[in-house]
Amino acid sequence: MSTIPVFKIAPTIQQYDWGKPGSTAKVAQFATTSKLPGFTIDQSAPYAELWMGTHVKSPSRVYSTGEVLSEHLAKHPELIGASVSKKFDASNGNLPFLFKVLSIEKALSIQSHPDKATAAKLHAAQPDIYKDPNHKPEMTLALTPFLALCGFRPLSSIASSLKHTPEFAALIPQHIQDAFLSLSTSSTPTGPLEKAALRDLFEAVMTADSGTFKPQLETLVERYKRGAMMHGEIQDLADLVLRCNTQFPGDIGSFCAFLLNYVTLKPGEAIFLGAGEPHAYVSGECIECMANSDNVIRAGLTPKLRDIPNLISTLTYTASPPTKHYVFPSPFTTDNATSSASTLYDPPIPEFSVVEVKLAPRAEEMHRPVMGPSIMIVTDGEGIVRWGRPEKEEKLDVGLGDVFFVGAGTEVRFCAKEKEFVAYRALVEAD
């Protein structure tokens, strides 16, 4: 008897304190409507992340049997596919990606993720903190208006804040300021000298002693509360400082508003953060996909462990406009044709891509066989997933919040019911 290639899975929930409360969180909404086993909503509790995948920290299960997904895939390697299993060593049933939904009420930590070599070293040295030896490049795709810090601002923008925000400048020794400002209009902003100057500046801020930065932050917050903006300051950054200080009073991370790009993503817009790129998600809800890892190096806006030395030593110090981090979508190609209903987000790493499927009521969409595993989640509406030969076609009814697996090499057809149907598909293929 052949293995069923399309089946529902039960994701897991993470209740970090930055999550949205109760039924305001899509994470909780999806868990409720999909009848996640054992889930009962608590309106006073935060719901931060929905995990869909095989990470050992919190693995998904086959919905109908409760079997751990990785164990099921290990028994049926054809569901992952030979090429993906070989390229990513997925013979133990572990997928190369981790798929998530995030519901963010409070800012996440100022953080970065290590590359593979660094992750292996950190895991070997501190396995209780860095839980696995893998890297964690990630892509965030906005479901709602989404605020984020991503990557270092252009050098000239940071220089402007140094010149116009005295409380920020007060954290940085004058010789470091002078060296940075002398290079801030360089025609090679990612050159070695420029990167070194940016590193020195960032390190000076993040390692400033509390006797210096806390009085300056208090002065800055009080000034912004009065609306006393200096010439050349940006209102959005002032608002961000106030937001961060309200959520994390007296935290050095508030000053990262002057160092990192601050963006507002519209629904459907996406950013990619590779290894060593500093970032922090501020508010909103999103689809997130990443390599199968939970490694995070934190340095601010968090009650968790801060590893400032490792953060400073592993960043790329690439200053650029935020557009550098944007992932621009393209039509998903199926059988040498493109479709307006399926949109591909393809970041510059091999572990994953994400396809958005958006169907009008009663519309249909065919996806070619993908030669690797996929996980899908329905974020709006109801539909039917069909697969198999016409004379032996099988189907799965899916609705809001349902998560399901699609095995390698399976052609699938999505059929919307009475309302618009929206789903997101994380997938991986290997040449």
Which of 298, 306, 386, 425 does the annotation list as catalytic?
298
The label of the residue with tokens 């499927």 reads 357
What does DSSP assign to residue 255?
G
The set of residues, in sequence order, having a beta carbon less than 8 Å from that of 328 and lying 6+ positions away, is: none
What does DSSP assign to residue 154?
P
Residue type, 101: V
The set of residues, in sequence order, having a beta carbon less than 8 Å from that of 190 and lying 6+ positions away, is: 318, 319, 320
Q: How far is it, in rounded angstroms, from Cα 54 to Cα 407? A: 15
Dihedral sign for Cα 265, 343, 341, 422, please: negative
CB-based burial label for 350 (10 Å; 0-12, 13-18, 19+): middle
Query: Based on C-alpha coordinates, what's the Rg of the chain?
Result: 23
Reported as type and span, the H/E element at residue 377 is strand 374-380
Q: Tokens standing for 160?
A: 């402007």
Q: Tokens standing for 418?
A: 């009475």
Residue 406 near residue 5 (C-beta atoms within 8 A): yes
Measure CA 101 to chain center. 9
Residue type, 383: G
Count the Cβ atoms, other than its own, within 10 Å of residue 337. 10
Q: On the CB side of 309, how many CA atoms lie within 13 Å of its CA?
A: 1
Report the SS3 class of residue 351: coil
Using alpha carbons, list the distances in angstroms from residue 237 to 203, 243, 363: 20, 10, 44
Q: How far is it, in rounded angstroms, from Cα 134 to Cα 122? A: 10
The label of the residue with tokens 């025609």 reads 187
Largest CA distance in the chain: 77
Residue 109 near residue 300 (C-beta atoms within 8 A): yes
What does DSSP assign to residue 109?
P
298 labelled catalytic: yes
The label of the residue with tokens 């990606």 reads 97
What does DSSP assign to residue 17?
T
Please give the positions annotated as active site: 298
